[in-house]
Structure 1
Amino acid sequence: MRKFYLSKNYNEINSAGNKAKTDIETILANLGYKNAGLAQTHYSNKVIGFIMTLIGVLKVFFTISKNDCIVLQYPFKKYYTFICHITHAKGGKVITIIHDLGTFRRKKISAKKEIKRLNNSDCLVAHNCNMKNWLQTQKLKKTIIELEIFDYLSSSKNNKNIKIKTSPIRVIYAGSLGYKKNKFLYKMEHIISEWQFELYGNGFDNNKITNKEHFNYNGFVPSEQLIEDVCAHFGLIWDGDSISICSGNYGEYLKINNPHKVSLYIKCNLPLIIWKEAALASFVTNNQIGICINSLDELDSILPSISAETYDQMRENIKNINKKISSGYYLTKALTEIENNMNKQN
């Protein structure tokens, strides 16, 4: 069985979504998968990018043969179903790695249509057991393997020796900081007194905060620099409008989604703070790499109560997971299981 993946044009590689996809291409190449299309490109011009991706898609028809398999990263816009049909017509099989589900992310497609699209694949890699269960409930009929967490490839390292008793306790939040996406950020000033909020990203409206004492806005910092320079105790995983629950579309998505920022925080050696109902809460608990909370207003009492021994153990556990995501461990494990299943069927 020959193994392929399909690269495309990425107009910029600093976003979380594109970072995850380019890392996966690197891991696949390291595992012996060959590119069925054109080499990865980074044209910012949309027309040129469209043409390069389209040519790569069409090349699949001349690359794939009987019993070959190809890995596709979903969503792949309008090309996904087309590539699946080409591959099956040539006698090959499709492995799909899910990044985002349009049913949740942008709500521009119904669950019924998305499942119909994904059923064109022969095997899928879902983020976690919650996503797998949702897909099966919606009548996805194909084999689903759980990724657990996204790998994160980077040569950058954080060598800071942080102790929990260092004052103040610093919690970072990285990502989109706009009021529309994360209203909860602008309600935090009323519940913080025992810790410091470190914000990284674009869009924070400082004028909406009255009590600025516990907020430090660092602006956008490239991920490689963030990994090396950040000096904090925890990374926060939260989304939505409320401080008491992850609400709204983005908050609900946390129940089945693996945010890529989790892997970024791990790469920074930061223990995690995450909502108890988030899909990754069980991963945090099972690996003892952070704390799970019901509401953000619990942090004022929880953070100061964490012992030095408990925090140091979290840091050691995080470093162990860091080694795994830095080597492509989780995707390798998922693909090994898929390949073994496919070999048994042949």
Structure 2
Amino acid sequence: MERKRILITGAAGFLGSHLCDRFVQEGFHVIGMDNLLTGSLRNIEHLFPLENFEFYFHDVTKFVHVPGKLDYILHFASPASPIDYLQKPIQTLKVGSLGTHNLLGLAKEKKARILVASTSEVYGDPEVHPQPEEYWGHVNPVGPRGVYDEAKRFMESITMAYHNFHGVETRIVRIFNTYGPRMRLNDGRALPAFMTQALTGQDLTVFGDGSQTRSFCYVSDLVEGIYRLLFSDYHLPMNIGNPDEISLLDFAKEILELTGSKQKIVFKPLPTDDPKQRRPDITKARTILGWEPKVSRREGLRLTLEYFKKHIDELHSPQNT
């Protein structure tokens, strides 16, 4: 039987690489695509010898061509951490707009189903808690985070336009904070920052008073949710995340306990427009997909710490992305 063919953009990134693994394991012919702006070939080099995996070095903001038939597209190309999108604001906006447009055009041409990776950042600094999919958000379009937030909001809009106007089969996942092996150690998000600081003998930096909350989902749970959403009949945005909410101050204390570090917690001013609360309402994922997270935060953090310990020396290497 002929393998189904799937294009995964952002394939060398944290989430993209885990998705490549999953679809290879499920028997798909996987075409990974990445321009390596923030991704690393190390994340997918174990797949290179396989006959059902191929890699294209390409920037999706340029015209995208894939020869042959294509059954599915997963669009996961984008800088995703504050340190990246604050340093690469134009690229972030372009991949969310031009990149999404190019891939929707490819999906239309190939008659492929496309799933695009949106984010909880479409909710901005939310005034509704927890955040259901019907909430429209509270976003500052001209603030420093606007380049990422609005890129994802535009991505959702153009995806719905292609669905409604051209009849393209589309899926939209709104991803909440996700963690696990292959996260970049220096990407600026809370978990990599805390773990790196703890493992290198630095004090842990908490912004504001640490009362702001996040909800952390282990990567294998997220991949399962995305897999189910792709093959569902649901075309409206869907939250995939773990509703187990924790304050960043308590989270920093958890990391200190887990690592056995004796470092202190130091406080710095809260960044502009930093969300005060993050917790997904996953009612739709539970009822429509039969999905909910299975990996506890303690277990997920243990697995992630093992990865960080193995790679901590790379922080001092110039090739640390």
TM-score (norm 1): 0.36
**Structure with the greater alpha carbon radius of gyration:** 1
Higher relative contact order (CA 8 A, sep 6+): 2
TM-score (norm 2): 0.38
